Amino acid sequence: MAAVSSLGFARVVAGSHAASVILQPPTRTALASAFSHSIKMCASPASPSESKKTVWVWTTNRQVMTAAVERGWSTFLFGSKDLGKDWSSTACINPLFIDGLEIFDKQNQKVAVISEVSSPRELELIQPDNVEVENIVIDFRGGWQVIPAENIVAAFQGCRGTVLAVSTNSTEAQVFLEALELGLDGVILKVEDMDDIIKLKDYFDRRNEAKSQLLLTKATMSKVEVVGMGDRVCVDLCSMMRPGEGLLVGSYARGMFLVHSECLETNYIASRPFRVNAGPVHAYVAVPGGLTSYLSELQSGREVIIVDQNGLWRTAIVGRVKIESRPLILVEAKENCGDDTYSIFLQNAETVALITPEKGSGGRTAIPVTSLKVGDEVLVRKQGGARHTGIEIQEFIVEK
């Protein structure tokens, strides 16, 4: 007989394993409340940059296996030992074998247990003190993933065991890897389409790139001129920016200015730390992967990179783009250690500013374009000038 819990779950015993049927979806608040009382703390969590994510692949498709091996993932899960032996003879892989709710290595040593979770009660039973093996695999059922994943991250933070979640596509995997920012220790990607392998590897590549630092160059203002009207682009992000952060924008791909966000307070308009008044529609903006995009091409869901005064950068999602006709100002700057000159058009307004060297320009973080004058120093990013569909290429080009 099924027993209905206060959150609307009915447990049905089926053979030796318990299955769960959701009669009425619980509210997000109720589910989070039910999880929260069982969380146990272990030790201080590692920072996201210190955590190395584990990826196991669960597939019966040889193309998926090949794509995964080519990208450095060598641990595979098999329901059949014959398939595991067959693949091991053609590729250097680490085969693991599933038997019920347990996972064994090729020496028949138990390396992980699988916990199927489809109710708050089942999640409560998964605690660090109860784990007897090095790895615990969680298979979330019933459609709920984000809140359970967040509570698993909180419960197991700082513990020695590795917690992985079963993901049926690359998007689910990303949810688990980013839960509570720290994320689970890893994922088991259970897929039959190699595109999910490619997408997940691209995701990890972007994460690793974001730990790198861009080289920024000092440039000195050589021209500041008020011009006519133009269609300028405001880029509103799904992330907040801090003082000293902005987007790399320029009329030429060879040199892009660091345009400050509207995070600074003014007497006339409220702070909008999610916004960069970036420039006119023709301008380039830096996006992940060393690529550029035209500002006019940005739309909701695209990614750009946020850069600070020291060149540290992170990715952000575009939430909205606003294109409006506004008065423009032409700014040109010459690099301090070379002969190249760069230019950018910006809206002629007090809320639009260029970021200065950290210790330059009288200690200012940024200079509003309405206050810019010849001789002021700003930061630019030098890069290759020739581009084809945003990709840097080697060819002769003149931009002026």
Domain ranges for the chain:
54-211, 217-392
**Per-residue confidence in pLDDT tens, the chain, 400 aa:** 333 332 332 322 233 333 332 333 333 333 333 333 333 323 333 334 334 889 999 999 999 999 999 888 999 999 888 888 888 888 889 999 999 989 999 899 999 988 888 777 777 777 666 556 678 888 887 666 677 777 777 777 766 778 888 999 998 898 888 887 778 889 999 999 999 999 999 888 777 665 567 889 999 999 999 999 999 999 999 999 999 999 999 998 888 999 999 998 777 788 899 999 999 999 999 998 888 999 999 999 999 999 999 888 888 999 999 999 999 999 999 988 777 889 999 999 999 999 999 654 455 689 999 999 999 999 999 876 544 444 454 454 556 6
pLDDT in tens, 134-144: 788 888 876 66
Indicate the class that CATH gives domain 54-211.
Answer: alpha beta
What is the rounded CA–CA span in Å between residue 356 and residue 360? 6
Q: What's the whole-model pTM score?
A: 0.56
- Nearest C-alpha neighbor of 343 from the set 184, 205, 227, 190: 227
pLDDT at res. 283: 95
What is the rounded CA–CA span in Å between residue 219 and residue 305? 21
What is the rounded CA–CA span in Å between residue 352 and residue 369? 6
Residue with the two structure tokens 């005064």 = 309
Residues paired with 78 in a beta bridge: 97
